[in-house]
Structure 1
Amino acid sequence: MNLAAITFLYPAMLAGLLVLPIVWLIIRSAPRSPKQVVFPAARLLRGLRANRRDMQRAPIWQTLLRCLILTLLILAAARPVLNRTEFSRDEGAILIIAENSWSSAANWQEYRTGLSQIINQARLDLRSIYIAQTAPEASGATTTRLPDIIGPISPHEADRFIDRLHPRPWAPDYTALSNRIADHQHMANSIGSIMWLTDNMEHPAKADLANELGTIAPITVLGPKRENRIAVQSLTRNRTGLDITLAHQNMNAPGEFALLARNERGQVLLRHTVKIEPATHQTRTQIPLPSDITNSIQSLGIEGIESAATVFQTGARWQQRKVGVIVSSGDSPVLLSDRYFFLDRAISPYADVTYAPLGKLLESGMDILVATGPISGLGSQYSALERWVRDGGMLVRFAGDSTTEVEPEFLPVTLRLGNRDFGGSMSWEKPKRLLAFPETSPFFGVLIPEEITINRQLLAEPDPDIVAKTWARLTDGTPLITSAPRNAGRIVLFHVTPWADWSNLPMSGLFVEIWQRLLPLASPSDRSEAELQTSLPPQSVLDGFGRAHQPDATTLPLRTPLPMPDPRHPPGIYGKNGQAVALNLGSFLENLDSQVRWPSGTVIREITDQDQIDLAAMCLMAAMLLLILDGVALILVHHVSLRRARHKDALTSFLLLAFIGASATMLLGGRDARAVETQAAALQPRLAYLKTDVAPIDRLSQSGLAGLTEILRRRTAADLAAPDAIDPEADDLSFYPLIYWPLVDGQQPFSDFARTRINRYLDSGGMILIDSRDQEVEPARLRRLLAGLEIPILDKAPGDHILFRSFYLLDHAYGRFAAPLWLDARPDQRLDGVASVLFGGNDWASAWMLNEGIQTESRTDDISPRQREMAWRFGVNLVMYALTGSYKGDQVHLPAILERLGR
């Protein structure tokens, strides 16, 4: 250990070391012990007690030991600190600006270290703390806002707050933070220093905020040693594999990053090393891959950097569909002048295109069939084509040269005879243009070039549902593209030909974009959904570290065009089946190499790994151990014996030994009674209930859980110990698989510390059953009691939930009453989809009691034997669900599993 790294907070206390020579002289000035001379006549005086005790000089080792003890006590009073970090010497409170936007995720561990160091300094300097965040959060039904500034709080409370702080997968809002600080004028007057944990990347209004903060107090910017500013900006596929674009900061030396491609199960399909050249801010690379492996890629990430910016998801549009174009035998696009040329160039970059007769295409298992006019070979394949469409296939049709040969059985709308001609020699009308795509169209949001014109089209009869079937229309309102579901499949009709005689649409880029939107609708993985979704609900979203999880109620559905990720639309997958789209953060990130210009006077420092260590406690501990050692040595030197000493000496020696034993037990890891109970709870599982400090309710909970434990012992293999009464303020909750929480009138809300413990228990896989005990839910009381707890959105438990199948086959959460059971609407898949919070009002504890003779304040004589039996069965199911999770889900889906194995 480097002694130069030790700093004394109270150096004046070291003046006490000047007393050591005086103490040494006092101890050594005592006369030596008299010598004993054997004189036989002195045996006559044996047994007499002297009224005066002779002084004895302490041995040199004992003098040194006691001087060392005194030295340690003086050092402890001087408060030595190892690796003292002086961020600021100013007085007043500390304002910590914690960067928790997407850019902080890659260096989050360093930011946490910096936060801990700042809080340790505030603890040593006895300063209060304010904490401000930079990333906005969801607020209300559809709005977002920046979280309130926390403070003033103590360093202990700040420690607990940063445990819940985590990065967000969207951009910061420095303008809103500036307004927040301006609204807290009292805070600005009490701040002595500002600590800003961030990197040097430029963001809108970041420099302006720094200039405003510089007028309040000195600013110290703490940044990571190495900034990992890198993002996967785009991921596209070509004819041979992948095209990848990375956006990053300029590097002084060449660097390497490993790209990892994963499938839907998270398995790594590809690991590819990309070299980053210096003095560049963008890197493009190509990876040759077979088509089947490319189709399986669900996400691409950068190894070793956990951030939402480094994860790029693919969505349904990524998978390459198998498209079959119905042609006569030997017909294929081989020349530029071929009639299939424009169609082939629009589809082939994004799909596997095959040109073959209808019968061969149906046998090949195509996802999409394209007919460029009358369907060739339909006579012999009519039933097969009809069955293929009904089973989930997509048939795309175009107008042919002869409109009289269009088969009405495979059309989405009824057509009029003949066609409509614009701009011809016999027509007064001019060529028509396209209107903007309606919101009900999958092409909604695609920009329409002004040069697109239509010269001829097929006209549809004005059916009552023609508007719902229309995906694109002309300026006069007539349909250009129509579609209709057919069982699990779909039929799409272009009212023009796929070549450039009726319109210039096939020659435009709009035709390519239309096919890019059209191809994913033929989802090969799930054909069960034929209706289109105009609003795409969230399927899975990413957190700041790029880890996928189930969306919560604050995430809103998505509409095209895709917006930049924000608290209401975090990056992730939206929609399902063929309409699932991926919203990626990296697609919106540019200029990652831009550097912010800090105002003059700003101190910029790097976060170090060396944390401050308070050595005062170690000095006190060492002094106590040496004091115990001095007592033990004193006993051994003077040969104290508890058996042969006089009563007074024996009592004194016994008390000294008891004191030494108690001190050693306390210092060397002795456990109190509560620690023994905690160890027992860890060794043998048991149920628990939250103490309410209402004696009748606590006795009822104890009796109910004891009865349920006995039922479990009799009927199942679950041998649980006696239930525990726990208090989140003092007890560790992590040892209990299920906690019963009865609500009582007048119950006070939990403290911040208790709420943190409960949130950590739920986040790590624990389960809480909340019982209002009155058949009804009182929202005001429930919201007050659950304020600050991370309770998920609750929904009524369906009758086929795994909870009702875990042991007994039930259809209800039976208890003393018959109120419905509420549980997680979207359980976290990280916890195997198991609900963490269950809520109801059926007074389960009263129904679970095994001994009817227990005296409680709750009337249980209204419970029939049948009702009590069903309540026991629900209790058994509940405990099995808490212990084993969703393993019964495999049995619920057993028919589907057997069907897959049979294939």
Structure 2
Amino acid sequence: MSLSAITFLYPAMLAGLMVLPIVWLLIRSAPRAPKQITFPAARLLRGLKSQRRDVQRAPIWQTILRCLILTLLIVAAARPVMNRNEFVQNNGAILIIVDNGWSSASEWSQYRSALDQIINKARFDLQSVYIARTAPEAAGATTWKLPDIVGPLSPRGAQDLIGRLQPRPWAADYFALSDLISNQQEMNTTIGSVLWLSDQMANPGKSELAEELLQIAPITVIEPTINDRMAVRSLIRSRTGLIATLSHNRSDTARTINLLARGERGSVLLRHNAEIAADTEQTELTVLLPSDIANAIQTVGVEGRESAATVFQTGARWQQRRVGVIVSSGDSPAVLSDRYFFLDRALSPYAEVIYQPLGKLLEQKVDILVATGPISGLGSQHKNLERWVNDGGMLVRFAGDSSTEIGNEFLPVTLRLGNRDFGGSMSWEKPKRLLDFPETSPFFGITIPPEITITRQLLAEPDPDILSKTWARLTDGTPLITSSAQNAGRLVLFHVTPWADWSNLPMSGLFVELWQRILPLASPSNPNSGELQTSLPPQSVLDGFGQAHQPDAMILPLRAPLATPTPRHPPGIYGENGQAVALNLGPFLGSLANDVTWPSGIDKRKITDHNQIDLAALCLIGALLLLLVDGLTLLAVHHVSLRRNRQSNAVTSTLIALAMLGTSTITVMLSSTTDGNAATLQEAALSPRLAYFETGVAPVDRLSQAGMAGLTEILRRRSAADLSSVDGVNPETDELSFYPLIYWPLVDGQKPFSERARDRLNKYLENGGMILIDSRDREVEPARLRRLLAGLEIPILDRAPGDHIVFRSFYLLDHAYGRFSAPIWLDARPDQRLDGVASVLFGGNDWASAWMLPEGREEMRAEDISPRQREMAFRFGVNLVMYALTGSYKGDQVHLPAILERLGR
């Protein structure tokens, strides 16, 4: 330990060391022992005992020991601090700006360390804190905005808020933060310094915001020690594997990374070692893979860099389909290469193309069949083809040449006889162009080149549902591409040929884009449902660290074309089966090579691992130990019995009192320098409150906290139960016995509890605790609960009868109302030792969403809850808490008629 790392908060107290020489002289100023002189008459006094003792000078070791004790007490009063972080001067409140956009995730542990150091210093200096975040959050029904600046906060309150901060999987909005700060005039007059936790990446509005903040207070930018930005920009499927493009910052030296490809449930399928060359900002990596392994890839990421930008999800479009082109058995390779040239060029980069007769293609179980005219061999394979389509296959058909008809079977629409010719010798019409694709089409969002023209087409008979079957149409409204569902399968018809005689569509890049949209609709793992989704609901989304989790009510369905990730559409998988689309962050990011140019006058510092430590407690402990050593040594030297001598008893009592005083002083000092758990436990014991289990999934935890806080407020308004603020608890580490009711939302993929956590939960239930378990998805079968909670002593559950006490403990209800209206299950045989009160209740009504107050956290509110449903959910919540607090006393009312009858006798 270096002495330069120690700072004194109250250096003036060290002036007390000047009294040490005086103390030394006082201890050593006792008179010397008298000299003995032989006197003959002294023999008469032999045998006499004197009751007076001459004062002797204290030993030198004792003098040094006592001076050292005094020195430690003086130094403790001066409050020595090791590794003092001089981020700011103590001249006002602190504004902490936390960059919590996607770029902060990979170094978030350093950000948290820096935030802890800042709050620790604010605690020492008694400074208030304002906290601003740069990443927007969901707000309202469909929009988002930057969170309000929170403050002024005490250091303890700021620590609680910082503990809930998480990086977001989208970009920061510095322009919105500039507007927020400019509107906080009262804050601008009170802050004395600005601490900005940010990386070195240039972003729009970042330097401009720094210039504005310099007009308010000095700025200190605290940066991570490592400047290593990286994102997976694109992932392309090739015939031999995959091609990944990485965007990164420039570096003077080469870097080595591991590219990880994961399959279903996160299993690692590939670890590819690659080198990023020096002084480059983009790297293309080619990985050779077999087709079956490439098909199984769900995500590709960079090992060791946890960020939503370094995770690229594949979606349904990634899997390579097997496309069978129906040909006649006598077609030669030369004919195939000539007739199917444009079709093969459009399909082969993204699918495995097979040219064979219909019977052999059906035997090979291809995903898509393509017929470029009349279906060859249909007569003998009619039933097999019909069965294949009904079971989920996709048949794509094209118009034949001018001399043949394609028939009237296996078509999505009814065709007219002949075909329509534009621009011919017998036609006054010019070649037609394409209209923009409708929203009901899977091609919606694709840009149509103006040079695409149609000279001939097959005409469809006007049906009542022709518009719903049309995927593409010409400027005159006639269909060009039609489709319809046939049971689980689908029929698609191009009203032109696949070669360039009727149109130049097959020669264009648009033809390739159309096939890129068609191929995913034939999902090999999940048969097509037959109906297209125009609005793709979220299936799983990524957090800031690139970890997938279930979406919450704040995330909206996605529509084509893909938009930049936002709080309403975070990166993730949207849609189902063959329409599952992967929304990734990397493709929407700009260059990562540019570093921000900070204005002059800004102080820049790196994040360190050295936290500020208060040494006053150590000094007090040292003084106490030396004091005990001094007392014990004094007793040993003078051979005094601790049980018989009153003076020794007094000394012993004094030592014990000093020890207790020192211990209490140390405890106070430690509690003032740390935020320890004892104070929290004491508050929980003295102030009843509700709690919820922390799942580790940030949206679910925020929803649980808001719901339980809303229920607490409703109880305060409508009953005499004045409960304190809600706590989030972890059964692995927290004491549960102080909470009468704990809300437990279930999430998929939860890790099994450790033996310690199971013991805590079992003890909590055994001693009268109550847990409300919420599956949040209307799924209320107790068998599912058994699977998720293996190892816990969960009692046998049964469906709650309509006359159960929980339905009349405060309000008279008939159902466990929540966001949904599923039944509730509870102990079938509750323990009579616990007054017959159920310890476990289980349902799937998403109570937390329904218990949120309408005026709070608007961005988290579910839109599908009516005011009537929310009111009934509030009433059930009040009943539930009353049942947990008061037990089954309301059950006595069922005996009220019998009691009145007996009183009447």
Tell me the TM-score range normalised by the shorter chain.
0.7 to 0.9
Q: Which residue of 2 aligns with 1:494?
A: 494
Q: Which residue of 2 aligns with 1:408?
A: 408
Pair 1:758 & 2:715 matched:
no
Structure 1 residue 259: Cα displacement: 0.8
| Preserved contact between residue 97 and residue 132 of structure 1 (Cα < 8 Å) | yes
Give CA-to-partner distance per residue, 1:379-412, whole Å, 9 cap, x none. 1111111111111111111111268743433111
Equivalent residue runs for 1:323-338 within 5 Å: 323-331=323-331, 334=334, 338=338
Cα 1:257–1:834 change in 2 (3 A) is farther
Structure 1 residue 445: Cα displacement: 0.2
Equivalent residue runs for 1:208-223 within 5 Å: 208-223=208-223
Structure 1 residue 799: Cα displacement: 5.0
Cα 1:666–1:193 change in 2 (3 A) is closer
Structure 1 residue 336: Cα displacement: 9.0
Amino acid at match of 1:820: A
Distance in 2, Cα, partners of 1:535 & 1:823: 23
Distance in 1, Cα, partners of 2:333 & 2:510: 21
Q: Which residue of 2 aligns with 1:516?
A: 516
Q: Which moved more, 1:26-35 or 1:409-418?
A: 26-35
Structure 1 residue 78: Cα displacement: 1.8
- How many residues are matched? 777
Amino acid at match of 2:816: P
Q: Which residue of 2 aligns with 1:421?
A: 421
Pair 1:356 & 2:381 matched:
no
Structure 1 residue 277: Cα displacement: 1.5
Ranges in structure 1 where 5+ consecutive residues have no aligned partner:
671-677, 683-688, 694-724, 772-790, 827-832, 865-903
Structure 1 residue 214: Cα displacement: 1.1
| Preserved contact between residue 99 and residue 198 of structure 1 (Cα < 8 Å) | yes
Q: Which moved more, 1:660-669 or 1:794-803?
A: 660-669
Structure 1 residue 62: Cα displacement: 2.2
Equivalent residue runs for 1:88-487 within 5 Å: 88-89=88-89, 91-331=91-331, 334=334, 338-401=338-401, 405-487=405-487
Pair 1:545 & 2:577 matched:
no
SS of corresponding position for 2:186:
helix
Equivalent residue runs for 1:360-759 within 5 Å: 360-401=360-401, 405-527=405-527, 529-643=529-643, 645-646=644-645, 648-649=646-647, 652=650, 655-656=653-654, 659=657, 743=715, 745-746=718-719, 755=726, 757-758=727-728
SS of corresponding position for 2:894:
coil
Distance in 1, Cα, partners of 2:531 & 2:446: 20
Structure 1 residue 662: Cα displacement: 5.5
Distance in 2, Cα, partners of 1:64 & 1:339: 105
| Preserved contact between residue 133 and residue 149 of structure 1 (Cα < 8 Å) | yes
Distance in 2, Cα, partners of 1:518 & 1:106: 37
| Preserved contact between residue 403 and residue 417 of structure 1 (Cα < 8 Å) | no
Structure 1 residue 635: Cα displacement: 3.3
Distance in 1, Cα, partners of 2:361 & 2:648: 104
Structure 1 residue 733: Cα displacement: 13
Structure 1 residue 9: Cα displacement: 2.4
Give CA-to-partner distance per residue, 1:477-497, whole Å, 9 cap, x none. 111111111111111111111
Structure 1 residue 77: Cα displacement: 1.8
SS of corresponding position for 1:410:
coil
Cα 1:415–1:37 change in 2 (3 A) is farther
Amino acid at match of 1:344: D
Pair 1:820 & 2:816 matched:
yes
Q: Which residue of 1 aligns with 2:24?
A: 24
Distance in 1, Cα, partners of 2:103 & 2:721: 40
- Which residue, 858, 861, 871 being the options, matches 2:893? 861
Structure 1 residue 73: Cα displacement: 1.2
Q: Which moved more, 1:442-451 or 1:322-331?
A: 322-331
| Preserved contact between residue 818 and residue 845 of structure 2 (Cα < 8 Å) | no
Give CA-to-partner distance per residue, 1:6-58, whole Å, 9 cap, x none. 22222222111111111011011124678999999879877x9x5x6653433
Distance in 1, Cα, partners of 2:555 & 2:8: 51
Distance in 2, Cα, partners of 1:251 & 1:71: 53
Cα 1:492–1:656 change in 2 (3 A) is same
Cα 1:29–1:665 change in 2 (3 A) is closer
Distance in 1, Cα, partners of 2:440 & 2:887: 65
Cα 1:55–1:179 change in 2 (3 A) is same
Equivalent residue runs for 1:29-48 within 5 Å: 29-31=29-31
Q: Which moved more, 1:272-281 or 1:208-217?
A: 272-281
Q: Which moved more, 1:800-809 or 1:173-182?
A: 800-809
Instruction: Give the TM-score normalised by the residue count of structure 2.
Output: 0.78
Cα 1:727–1:64 change in 2 (3 A) is farther
Amino acid at match of 2:445: G
Cα 1:275–1:332 change in 2 (3 A) is farther
Amino acid at match of 1:433: R
| Preserved contact between residue 422 and residue 429 of structure 2 (Cα < 8 Å) | yes
Cα 1:35–1:142 change in 2 (3 A) is farther
| Preserved contact between residue 796 and residue 823 of structure 1 (Cα < 8 Å) | no
SS of corresponding position for 2:392:
coil
Distance in 1, Cα, partners of 2:821 & 2:273: 41
Cα 1:547–1:364 change in 2 (3 A) is same
Distance in 1, Cα, partners of 2:349 & 2:734: 46
Structure 1 residue 174: Cα displacement: 0.7
Structure 1 residue 564: Cα displacement: 0.9
Cα 1:239–1:797 change in 2 (3 A) is closer
Structure 1 residue 117: Cα displacement: 2.3
- Which residue, 761, 766, 778 being the options, matches 1:797? 778
Distance in 2, Cα, partners of 1:467 & 1:554: 33
Instruction: Give the TM-score normalised by the residue count of structure 1.
Output: 0.78
Structure 1 residue 639: Cα displacement: 3.4
Amino acid at match of 2:894: D
Structure 1 residue 769: Cα displacement: 5.6
Cα 1:332–1:578 change in 2 (3 A) is farther
Ranges in structure 2 where 5+ consecutive residues have no aligned partner:
669-676, 697-703, 744-771, 788-794, 808-813, 823-842, 852-872, 897-905
Distance in 2, Cα, partners of 1:478 & 1:171: 43
Pair 1:11 & 2:11 matched:
yes
| Preserved contact between residue 251 and residue 279 of structure 2 (Cα < 8 Å) | yes
Give CA-to-partner distance per residue, 1:291-323, whole Å, 9 cap, x none. 111111111111111111111111100000111
Amino acid at match of 1:797: R
Amino acid at match of 2:600: S
Amino acid at match of 2:533: Q
Amino acid at match of 1:652: A
Give the % identical residues.
Answer: 60
| Preserved contact between residue 390 and residue 486 of structure 2 (Cα < 8 Å) | yes
Structure 1 residue 85: Cα displacement: 2.5
Structure 1 residue 624: Cα displacement: 2.1
Structure 1 residue 498: Cα displacement: 1.0
Cα 1:747–1:562 change in 2 (3 A) is farther
SS of corresponding position for 1:408:
coil
CA RMSD of aligned residues (A): 4.0
Distance in 2, Cα, partners of 1:408 & 1:436: 28
| Preserved contact between residue 413 and residue 460 of structure 1 (Cα < 8 Å) | yes
Amino acid at match of 1:287: V
| Preserved contact between residue 775 and residue 846 of structure 2 (Cα < 8 Å) | no
